[in-house]
Amino acid sequence: MKITEADVRHVAGLARLTLGEAEIPRFIRELNSILDHMDMLSALDTQGLESTVHTGSITNSLRDDEARISQSREQAMANAPEFMNGVFVVPKVLE
Amino acid sequence: MLETARRYRRGETTPTREIEALLEKIRTDDHNAFITVNAEEALEQAARADRDLNEGNEDILLGVPIAIKDNICTRGLPTTCASRILSNFTPAYDATVVRGLRNRGAVIIGKTNLDEFAMGSTTTSSSIGPSRNPWDRTKTPGGSSGGSAAAVASRLCAGALGSDTGGSVRQPASFCGITGLKPTYGSVSRYGLVAFASSLDQVGPMGRSARDVSVLFDAIRGHDPRDSTSVQGTHSLLTLDGLDMHGIRVGVPKAFFAQGLSEDVEGAVNSAISVMRELGADIVPVDLTTLTYGVAVYYIIACAEASSNLARYDGVRYGLRSSDATELVELYSRTRAEGFNAEVKRRIMLGTYVLSAGYYEAYYLKASQVRTLMVQDFQQAFTRCDLIAGPTAPVTAFGLDEMLDDPLSIYLLDIYTIPASLAGLPAMSIPCGFDRGGLPIGLQLIAPSFREDVLLGAGIAFQDATTFHEVMP
């Protein structure tokens, strides 16, 4: 088995996901089953092969560095769960 | 769409009367195709279309009702991605594709259901529950653009936009008996399409016929300065004429007819290939031996990109915020735990794992190298043919109560749509028959990059010779 309980807890921490206790055995089972399938790739020799990270054009796309009208502060804040004095409010970060 | 436009020009109906009738039909409809119905604004847009029509505006899209998948941003209209985490999100802007449709006078009739964040192939993983297949309400419409497909098939709109990352336009089109196009990567702007896997996502048109899809594609494609991956330069010339199939080489990969393909689907796809031969096409065998690796490569790359893209949902700037958290990291983690359903969490976990220290080389890097082999495989195949034909999906729509518990067996059903996605190629599903239970079957056609003209032209030629797309549920 590739993925252990410790792995699931570690990855959930990296992904910022609080897991319920019932979710842990399910993730162990499902992720192992999916990764077993993915291991078929290890049979292929890919030594020295370029990776494909996109299939788009390879030219860089730049625009002129000019100020443009974008969203107003009110629009940007309109969907915020909590804001005050023009800033997003979050719980305390440092004690 | 063309039919609706014709009825307006013949004076058989008006945009306002058409939209009023559709809104009434949607109110009593039970396919669960829509998340949000845009009733008030649609009637305003229709009234404007009435006036423009009287003033002689000839635009085919004028007053034509289009449904939009709910992962495409619409100004002032909720865009939820069928997720609890965005259940209260209303964009301040239109996606470029939506703006394009509005500028042409199209009416945005509503926002359609999907698998949460477009992750899935059944439209069951939605915060509002599953959509239903118009051919049989006990079956899935496919997914993730299942709401758009069901809305088109049950005539709740004239056409729709979906999005396709690994088959999410083509597979529901196949299951619902409509036509759906996944354009070449970069031909349609992704600005305002909520990101799932950015190297694969494309907005795609869905309609009753290849001609309708062609009109819709022409309206949404083109360079957008707001999406640096949208290509500049000339695009292929689209016409509404069928392609003369004489001398067109249609490649048929043996790998597309492998184990797991249903007998009925195989039979219908083979008959469709015979139709193309009768229309003058040369049928040639081609190799696509890397096909078997597609599902593994796709789920590594798509989940890796998703885990990164979905990091933005943290309860700070928009969307759901957990009320239980007392410090910041807890706020992120609880918000995400409460806001995402099981499938999205699974993909975030998988994507985070394959990118994490110690596993990156074995999974993400390996998959992106095998992706190169798949791109090369297509390049090789297209030296021998102009189009590739095969099934869109190995099966027809299955029962909502037959849903497999094992996520891998669901993923494996994406086998035929994934390769074109990984290679960035345009691909289309068109109706080509029915199984013994009367459920639609889709033929998939794949073309070289930016040859949507060939793809759509062949689809139009096929539909001029067949009637599968005209059969109504």
**Does a structural domain hold residue A72?**
no
Name the residue in chain B with its Cα closest to that of A60: B228
Question: CATH number of the domain that B461 lies in?
Answer: 3.90.1300.10
Q: Note the pLDDT tens digit of each residue in A65-83.
A: 999 888 888 888 999 999 9
Q: Note the pLDDT tens digit of each residue in B306-362.
A: 999 999 999 999 999 999 888 999 999 999 999 999 999 999 999 999 999 899 999
pLDDT at B234: 66
- Judge whether A43 is closer than 8 Å to chain B, CB to CB: no
Q: Note the pLDDT tens digit of each residue in A86-95.
A: 899 998 887 6
Domain that includes residue A27, residue range: 5-42
**Does a structural domain hold residue B252?**
no
- Judge whether A63 is closer than 8 Å to chain B, CB to CB: yes
**Does a structural domain hold residue B55?**
yes
Q: Note the pLDDT tens digit of each residue in B12-25.
A: 999 999 999 999 99
* Catalytic annotation, pick one of B144, B154, B174, B209: B144
CA distances from B234 to B111, B223, B391 (A): 31, 9, 31
Do the interacting molecules here have an ipTM over 0.90? yes
pLDDT band at A54 (very low <50, low <70, confident <90, very high): confident
What mean pLDDT is reported for chain B?
96
List all residues 6 or more positions away from B421 whose beta carbon is below 8 Å from its beta carbon: B164, B165, B166, B167, B182, B200, B298, B427
- Total of domains in chain A: 1
pLDDT band at B8 (very low <50, low <70, confident <90, very high): very high
The whole-angstrom separation of Cα B118 and Cα B144 is 5
**Does a structural domain hold residue A14?**
yes
Q: Note the pLDDT tens digit of each residue in B28-69.
A: 999 999 999 999 999 999 999 999 999 999 999 999 999 999
Partners of residue A66 in chain B, C-beta under 8 Å: none
Is B168 marked active-site? yes
Tally C-beta pairs within 8 A across A and B.
169
Q: Note the pLDDT tens digit of each residue in B124-176.
A: 999 999 999 999 999 999 999 999 999 999 999 999 999 999 999 999 999 99
Residue B3 per-residue DSSP state: H
Residue B378 has pLDDT above 90, yes or no: yes
* DSSP letter string, A4-31: -HHHHHHHHHHTT-PPPTTHHHHHHHHH
Partners of residue B353 in chain A, C-beta under 8 Å: 3, 7, 11, 31, 35
Judged by CB atoms closer than 8 Å, whether chains meet at A55 and B424 is answered as yes
pLDDT at B235: 74
**Does a structural domain hold residue A23?**
yes
User: Which of A9, A14, A17 is most worth mutating to test chain B (most B CB atoms within 10 A of its CB)?
Assistant: A17
Pairing of strands B65-69, B282-286: unpaired
Domain that includes residue B106, residue range: 2-242+425-470
Partners of residue A33 in chain B, C-beta under 8 Å: 406-408
**Does a structural domain hold residue B87?**
yes
Q: Note the pLDDT tens digit of each residue in B200-238.
A: 999 999 999 999 999 999 999 999 989 989 988 767 888
**Does a structural domain hold residue B272?**
no
Is B69 marked active-site? yes
- Judge whether A47 is closer than 8 Å to chain B, CB to CB: no
In angstroms, the separation between the Cα of residue A64 and the nearest Cα of chain B is: 11
User: Which of A7, A8, A11, A70 is most worth mutating to test chain B (most B CB atoms within 10 A of its CB)?
Assistant: A11
Percent of chain B scored above 70 by pLDDT? 100
- Total of domains in chain B: 1
**Phi, psi angle pair for B439, to nearest 5°:** -90, 145
Percent of chain A scored above 90 by pLDDT? 62
A15 vs A74, more confident: A15
The CA angle B56-B58-B62, to the nearest 5 degrees, is 105
Q: Which residue has the tokens 């009593």?
A: B28
pLDDT at B452: 97
Judged by CB atoms closer than 8 Å, whether chains meet at A14 and B373 is answered as no
Q: Note the pLDDT tens digit of each residue in B273-284.
A: 999 999 999 999
Q: Note the pLDDT tens digit of each residue in B84-137.
A: 999 999 999 999 999 999 999 999 999 999 999 999 999 999 999 999 999 999
**Does a structural domain hold residue A31?**
yes
Q: Note the pLDDT tens digit of each residue in B282-297.
A: 999 999 999 999 999 9
